[in-house]
Structure 1
Amino acid sequence: MSPDTPRSIRRQFWSQLPFFLWLVVLWMLLWGQFTVLAALTGIVIAVFVTTVFRLPTADLSGRVNLWYGFLFAVAFLAALARGALTVAWQTVAPGHPGTAIVRVPLRVDDDLIMTHAAVANSLVPGSLVVEADRENRVLYLHVIGVTSAEDVERQRRIAQRWEERAVLAVGSRAHVALIRSDAPPVVDRIAAEGGGR
């Protein structure tokens, strides 16, 4: 073993800690219980998942903006409430609310940001990610309450706004600059470069 092995193990532990904690929180959310027993079983499940089903380490930007993280959380809670009320109204309102599959091209070429955007869009009532094209960075959402082309475009902008919020909260400085420069989506940049990555 090399002399810096303990240091690399500590670095890996700290870089994976947010994912481990997220698994525990996700377990408690799935059971709908925030108890000591749910936390302990969540820790056991997280240890099992992270040791048996080892995935490649996600590249973290090393940047966390607490203010934008707070704004992300507030916007998410507001979207949850608004989405729940909208879906509740659509279930009792006469007529069909209208549905569509909306193609949402993302602007940042990053797995973690794509995951944040997909999870936020899926958890808000009224929309669900049905497919994620990782190669071209495109999400496909099933959305209810869509009756016109303007509604489709509005839903696309809402979904892209979640990507922007995630970048501002935890994205790298290069990704923040890309979002602020209003760069075209990744799939359009690939097409402009002749289809090669």
Structure 2
Amino acid sequence: MAPRSRGSVIRARILSGLLPFLGLILLWMLLWGQFTWLALLTGAALAAIVSIVFYLPAVRFSGHLDPLRAIWFLVRLAVDMVVASIQVAGIALGPKRLQQSAVIQVALRTRSDIVMVFTSEALSLVPGSILLDVDREEATLLIHTIGVRDDAAAELAKRKVLETERRIILAFGSRDDRARLDQEATT
């Protein structure tokens, strides 16, 4: 294999940093709740500063995108957010009693950084759970969740995390991640 030229290395580095850069701009615009030229320009300036000052690892996207499953993932995420919001409101407004919660550890099937990030973010968006830690090497998430009264409820919470991960893998995951899902389904 021929060594890569300096120009191709620079191009590859720029392209691998483009997704996080655009994500930072989008995040800035969402934080301000405005999609204006000013928000775009200030977001781009701040994204450039963050990209230069802080190391952002390259994001490897598998290249797989199933649009129907991506839409299904987003619809289910929206439904989960609404249902969880109602449940949390019920806890907050209901009779004052000691609410039980748990910290659960969930071993993910993926080894992809981007799927781990998507899964972590999807869980963080749903009220009633907080992501405490991500162990990238072991592909595990540590999650605090409310409304867990017994082991069965803790197992249900773990299954919900794995269902979210499954939807993300089917929509965006690599061939290896999808093969792990298929292998798990046959065992």
TM-score normalised by length of structure 2: 0.86
2:73 maps to 72
SS state at 2:184 partner: coil
1:127 maps to 129
Q: Cα RMSD between the aligned structures?
A: 2.1
1:115 aligns with 2:111: no
1:38 maps to 39
1:50 maps to 51
1:169 maps to 171
1:190 maps to none
1:159 aligns with 2:161: yes
- The CA distance in 1 between the partners of 2:55 and 2:133, in whole Å, is 23
- The CA distance in 2 between the partners of 1:59 and 1:123, in whole Å, is 23
Within a 5 Å distance, the mapping from 1:4-43 to structure 2 comes to: 4-43=5-44
Asked whether the 8 Å contact 1:108–1:179 carries over to 2, the reply is: no
- The CA distance in 2 between the partners of 1:122 and 1:50, in whole Å, is 24
What letter corresponds to residue 27 of structure 2 in structure 1?
L
Tell me, which stretches of 5 or more residues in structure 2 are unaligned? none
TM-score normalised by length of structure 1: 0.82
Displacement, 1:36?
Answer: 3.1
Q: How many residues align?
A: 182
1:192 maps to none
Asked whether the 8 Å contact 2:20–2:59 carries over to 1, the reply is: no
- The CA distance in 2 between the partners of 1:3 and 1:136, in whole Å, is 32
Displacement, 1:154?
Answer: 0.8
Tell me, which stretches of 5 or more residues in structure 1 are unaligned? 184-197
Displacement, 1:3?
Answer: 8.8
SS state at 2:70 partner: helix
Q: Greater shift after overlay, 152-161 or 32-41?
A: 32-41
Asked whether the 8 Å contact 1:106–1:160 carries over to 2, the reply is: yes
Seen in structure 2, the aligned counterparts of structure 1 residues 14 and 135 have a Cα distance that, compared at 3 Å, is: closer
Displacement, 1:139?
Answer: 0.6
- The CA distance in 2 between the partners of 1:35 and 1:83, in whole Å, is 32
SS state at 2:109 partner: coil
What letter corresponds to residue 25 of structure 1 in structure 2?
L
2:84 maps to 83
What letter corresponds to residue 48 of structure 2 in structure 1?
V
- The CA distance in 1 between the partners of 2:4 and 2:114, in whole Å, is 31
The percent of aligned pairs where both chains have the same amino acid is 37
Asked whether the 8 Å contact 2:20–2:56 carries over to 1, the reply is: no
